[in-house]
Structure 1
Amino acid sequence: MTAAVWGDALFWLLAVVGVFLTGISKSGFAGGAGVVAVPLLALVVSPALAVTLMLPLLLVMDAQIITHHRRNLCPGELRALLPAALVGIALGSFLLTALPDAPLQLLLGAMSIGFALMQWRRPRLVARRGLGALMGGIAGATSTLIHAGGPPLNMYLATRQLPRAVWLSTAAVFFASVNVVKVFAYQAVDLWRLETLLLSAVLLPVAVAGILAGHRIQAVLSEAAFQRAVMVCLGLSGLLLIAKALA
């Protein structure tokens, strides 16, 4: 499967679009944009290949973002989130290898549509005991399956009424920590391949370009408008994934 994608024009088109949008997302412009990369790639490759391809790129982006946001970290929030996130990562890694491609595509498609709908009508949670552990676990699992831990994490952080700088810093360190753990989790279930890493290396300039573009786009396009466009793309990707699985 991996060897075949090198000459696949559709794969490269979807990969460039997905990675570029993820770079914009990581720039701080639109936290939900990064959700769309794996559903797009999973239309043409296996979900397992899609997530392993994206992870090295996310780690590079994390390093760049932390240099900007590390000073406003809230350690207490991380203590509430990270232990349960580890459980979620273990569960997500198990599902990636235990489920055949068709059921996994159904799951990813349903998650994609769910996240798109949440953007239009975001649920309002009330802060209560254990909410950090619950949403941390969900974020760990969804991040492992689809690199989409942002929606559950942001739903929790919204209940904390944090200053924007603290919110961004906490989210940046949370995802950097989760992504580092996912390196070992993917290794434990034997997902890493040398050719996948080579694909990631080829796409690295696209990720950097997305980060740089994110800072510039903020001056000409509102975050809300960009998010709406991305969520439409995510919803359509989810529908196509479900159709592919059922076919």
Structure 2
Amino acid sequence: MEALAGNPVFWLLAIAGVVLTGISKSGFAGGAGVVAVPLLALVMPIPQAVFLVLPLLLVMDVKTVQYYRHHASWTDLRAVLPAALLGIAAGGLMLGRMPEQALRITLGGISIVFALWHGLAPLLGGMKGAGWLWGAISGLTSTLIHAGGPPINIYLIARQLPKLSWLATAGIFFGTMNVIKLVPYLLTGEWGADVFLMSLLLLPVAFLGTWLGKHIQGRIQDRHFMLCCRGLLLASGLLLIAQAVSG
């Protein structure tokens, strides 16, 4: 990891990924939150990239909840959090065992189809048991590669929440998941002090990203916000598939 710390390409990719993730979390409900791990995976092993990003996600979640907590939809959180816990448990058992290419292609395909098909949100996000389905998928993919944004956004878009309510609900949802994910990550025994130190060095970048996201979303109307979220889902899906194919 010492060689990596002296690699300017690593820091460039890390800063870009963390800033985009912070903007996504506090401004666009996590739609582009999947970019950090794929970018870092270009220069480091994926498991180490996942470990590096988790503390930064926790900090971003705290800031997002601080910004919007009074607007949260607790009804929707009760609908998705129990299923997310099951997804996290399944993901914890699969850490390091499931081919990530297959997971990325599946999730990327879902994201792209949703982004391009306007009628998919009411169909999939509003169907019976949608909270359990998308909550569980989000918990699973979030545990494996921090890619829980696209699945839960399918559910939240179908719910047609106001912008601030969406941001608050997503912030609390991901914050809760990321705290729980500490357990399976620590149990792997592969989370080293050197990776954690790099996370600490990137903390100012995480704060910058969430600050930018809050100020960007305040200047965008609800209908434009929805279009931005679909655009972020499309970009996330394409990136996931590109990473799977290139890997």
TM-score bin (small chain): 0.7 to 0.9
Q: Does 1:157 align with 2:153?
A: no
Amino acid at match of 1:166: S
Matched with 1:95 is 94
The whole-number CA distance in structure 2 between the counterparts of 1:152 and 1:173 is 16
Match runs of 1:157-176 below 5 Å:
157-176=156-175
Preserved CA contact (<8 Å) 1:85 1:139: yes
Matched with 2:63 is 64
SS at match of 2:189: coil
Matched with 1:124 is 121
Structure 1 stretch displaced more, 228-237 or 192-201: 228-237
Alignment CA distance shift 1:51-1:117 (3 Å): farther
SS at match of 2:44: coil
Preserved CA contact (<8 Å) 2:105 2:244: yes
Could you tell me the TM-score, scaled by structure 1's length? 0.84
Match runs of 1:12-91 below 5 Å:
12-29=11-28, 31-91=30-90
Superposed CA deviations along residues 65-96 of structure 1, whole A, max 9, x for unmatched, are 11122112232322221111111112222322
The whole-number CA distance in structure 1 between the counterparts of 2:109 and 2:150 is 12
Q: Over aligned residues, Cα RMSD in angstroms?
A: 2.7
Superposed CA deviations along residues 36-81 of structure 1, whole A, max 9, x for unmatched, are 1111112222221111111100111111111122112232322221
2:241 to 221, 238, 241: 238
Give the deviation of 1:232 after TM superposition.
4.0
Matched with 2:104 is 108
The whole-number CA distance in structure 1 between the counterparts of 2:90 and 2:135 is 13
**Structure 1, unaligned stretches of length 5 or more?**
none
The whole-number CA distance in structure 2 between the counterparts of 1:59 and 1:142 is 17
Could you tell me the TM-score, scaled by structure 2's length? 0.84
Preserved CA contact (<8 Å) 2:71 2:168: yes
Give the deviation of 1:242 after TM superposition.
2.0
The whole-number CA distance in structure 2 between the counterparts of 1:231 and 1:11 is 25
The whole-number CA distance in structure 1 between the counterparts of 2:235 and 2:176 is 29
Preserved CA contact (<8 Å) 1:74 1:170: yes
**Structure 2, unaligned stretches of length 5 or more?**
none
Amino acid at match of 2:245: I
Alignment CA distance shift 1:220-1:238 (3 Å): same
Alignment CA distance shift 1:70-1:202 (3 Å): same
Structure 1 stretch displaced more, 165-174 or 233-242: 233-242
List 4+ stretches of structure 1 deviating above 6 A: none
